[in-house]
Amino acid sequence: MRAVLARWVDPFVVTLFVVLVLGLLVPVPPAAQRVVDVVADLAVTVLFLVYGMRLSTREVWAGLRNVRLQGAVLASTYVVFPLLGLLVAWAVVPLLGAGLATGVLFLSLLPSTVQSSVAFTSVARGNVAGAVCGATVSNVVGMLVTPLLVLWLLSDGAGVVPEPPAGDVAGDVAGGLGGLRTVLLQLLVPFVVGQLLQPWVGGWIRSRRWLTLGVDRGTILVVVFGAVAAASSAGVWASVSGWAVVALVGVSAVLLAAMLATTWWGGAALRLPLEDRVALLMCGSKKSLATGLPMASVLLPVAVAGVVAVPVIVFHQLQLMVCAVLARRLALRA
C-alpha cells in the first residue's frame, strides 16, 4: 500500500488541493491579503532570480534561438487555443449561459502562465531555458494581442456576448503598459540579475536541485492561495451556482485535455526533442490568472468582468492540479 501511495499520490498535489480549499474557506482580511500578495510577488521574483543563476547563458541563447519551440508556443497560445475556445464557448451557451460562456472564450485569449509553466517544466526535467523564453515572450506579446482579440471576438459577431464590451482605449493602453511593466520588473530583471551572477553561483545552484524544486513548488502554492483568497474576498463565487461550477469544471477539463493532447502530440509531429515537448506541453496548454483578472477589469464592463473571471479561476486551478501530476510522472521517466 505504501508503494502504491508513493507512486500515485503526489504530496505536492495533496498540498495544492489543501491550499486551494483554504483559499476558498478561510476569510482573509484586506490587510492580510495585501501581505499575501506581496509575498507572492516576492516569491515569483526569487523564482526567476534562481532560474537566472541556475541556467547557463548558452542554454538561454539556445532557448531563444529555438524557433520551432517558440513558434509552437505562440501558435498554441494565440491561434489553436482561441479557435478551440470560440468553438467550445459557442457550444456551451445553453449549459452555462452567456456570461460564463463569454468567460470561457475570454480565457482562451489570454497569455500563458510564466511561473507555473517554468516551474512545472523544471519539475518534469524539460527544457527550462526554452520554457522561460517561451512563457515570457508569450506574456509580452499578449499585452498587445489579447486586448485586440478580446475587442474583436467578444462582440455580436462572435455569437457569445449579447452586446459588445465597452472597452476604453485609454484604459486598454494603460492596462497593457502596466502588465508589460510587471513582466519587465518582476520577471525579466531578476532573471537578468541571476544571469549576471551565474558564472559565480551557477555551479552551486545546479548541484542542489532540492533548492530550485522547493522554490518552484513554494511559489505555486503561495500564488494559488493568494489568487483564490482574493477571488473569495471579492465575492466572485456568490453569483455562480454550485451546478454551474461543476459544469464549468467539466468544460475546463475538456479544454485542458484538448490542449494537452495538441501540444504533446503536436510537439511530436514537429519532431521536437523530448525536453522541448515538455516545455511546449507546459507553456502551450496554460492560461494566466495573474494577467487574466486585471485584463478583464480593464477590457470589460464591471457587470461582465466579475462573471467572466470565474472560468479563468476554475481553469487556472484545474491546470495546476493536472500539470502537477503530469510533471511528476514525466520526472520519473528513465
Domain boundaries, the chain: 30-329
- What pLDDT is stored for residue 237 in this prediction? 65
Of residues 105 and 191, more confidently modeled: 105
Mean pLDDT lowest among 74-88, 197-211, 257-271: 197-211
Average pLDDT for residues 20-49, to the nearest whole number?
Answer: 82
Mean pLDDT lowest among 66-75, 95-104, 160-169, 291-300: 160-169
Q: Give 227-252 pLDDT, tens digit per residue.
A: 677 777 777 666 677 788 889 999 99
Q: Is the pLDDT of residue 295 over 60?
A: yes
State the pLDDT confidence band at 302, using cuts at 50, 70 and 90.
low
Q: Is the pLDDT of residue 276 over 90?
A: yes
Q: Which three cell numbers stand for residue 257?
A: 485535455
Q: How many CB atoms lie within 10 A of CB 250?
A: 12
- What pLDDT is stored for residue 63 in this prediction? 63
Average pLDDT, the chain: 78
Q: Is the pLDDT of residue 178 over 60?
A: no
Q: Is the pLDDT of residue 102 over 50?
A: yes
Q: Is the pLDDT of residue 142 over 60?
A: yes
Q: Is the pLDDT of residue 15 over 60?
A: yes
Amino acid at 140: V
- What pLDDT is stored for residue 9 in this prediction? 54
pTM of the model: 0.70
Of the CATH numbers 3.40.50.300, 2.60.40.10, 1.20.1530.20, 3.40.50.1400, which one belongs to the domain with range 30-329? 1.20.1530.20
- What pLDDT is stored for residue 183 in this prediction? 56
- What pLDDT is stored for residue 49 in this prediction? 85
Residue with cell 462573471: 307
Q: Give 53-93 pLDDT, tens digit per residue.
A: 876 777 667 666 788 998 999 999 999 999 999 999 999 98
